[in-house]
Amino acid sequence: MNGSTMPDAGLSVSVVSHGHGAAVIALLGQMASVLESGGVGPCRVLLTVNCPEPGLVASVRARSWPFEVVVLENSSPAGFGANHNRAFERDRKLGASTVFGVVNPDVRLLDNQPFAALLAVFAAAPQAGCVYPRQIDVAGAVQDHERLLPTPGRLLRRHLFRRRHEVPANSAGSADWVNAAFMLLRGTAFAQVGGFDERYHMYGEDVDLCLRLRLAGWILMRADSVVVEHVAQRASHRDLRHLGWHLASLLRLWRSPVYRRFKRLHVAGYSKSV
């Protein structure tokens, strides 16, 4: 783990669109507003167009943004982790920022200065490898975006008894993993663990990444003062193809050395959960 404090070297944000044109424009507009109002925001946005969206590309290139916009157009769709890894690689070639953000297009910023508070956590906590905001849904309810290790027993109780919010609101830094709808990653930490594992497809990448960050000595920190709205699609609840991907990712995770090592090192805390 690199214990240095956070230098002032900027923030890059990776956004992936898979037919999310209108949401992407809205998100870019919100990030632009933060900067235009004198706040702290991204110096670069890497937009990956995962399937053809000529209208989105034209709209993005037609506007002048207060940050650099790098458009990456895929010839064929790639997975969640692969897209963000490629964006990170491009960012490094262009002159990597200190912090690399992964933000879903269906996220809405609810704070005029969200990035300043998030980046302040990195500066205050050199051991923080990932910093994230609180997430609410469109009704204002707090989402269960931070969780403990997804053991079979814990998942069974979660779905049978509707046990949500595994991490108490007053225990920032105690999550084993957080969803990747909105996370800022210390660039050195993300590079150290090798980014997302691209063998996961749409599900499980965030769990695996967070476990590897934890195993490498980094911690996950919540910025309580920052709230974002996330329109969680939960496609695996409605689409059999997505459900299949979800189950395959869970099986891959449970069979992985990363999962076994993390569980072994934290067995005392999970003895009642498996």
Is the pTM higher than 0.85? The answer reads yes
Q: Show the low-confidence residues of the chain (pLDDT under 70).
A: 1-9, 161-173, 232-240, 242, 267-274
Radius of gyration of the chain, Cα coordinates, nearest whole angstrom: 18
pLDDT tens track for 232-247: 655 444 466 767 777 8
Which residue is associated with the tokens 């689409």?
239
Q: Is 160 helix (H, G, I), strand (E, B) or coil?
A: helix
The 10 Å CB-count burial string (b at 16+, else e) for 166-201 is: bbeeeebeebbbbbbbbbbbbbbbbbbbebbbbebb
- The span from the CA of 155 to the CA of 249, in Å, is 14
Which residue is associated with the tokens 């993390």?
262
DSSP for 184-236, written as a single string? EEEHHHHHHTTSS-TTS-SSSHHHHHHHHHHHTT-EEEEEEEEEEEE----GG
| pLDDT value at residue 243 | 74
| pLDDT value at residue 237 | 45
| pLDDT value at residue 96 | 85
- The span from the CA of 211 to the CA of 258, in Å, is 7
pLDDT tens track for 8-21: 459 999 999 999 99
Which residue is associated with the tokens 């934290």?
266
- The span from the CA of 199 to the CA of 201, in Å, is 6
Closest CA to 158 of 22, 267, 273: 273
| pLDDT value at residue 107 | 97
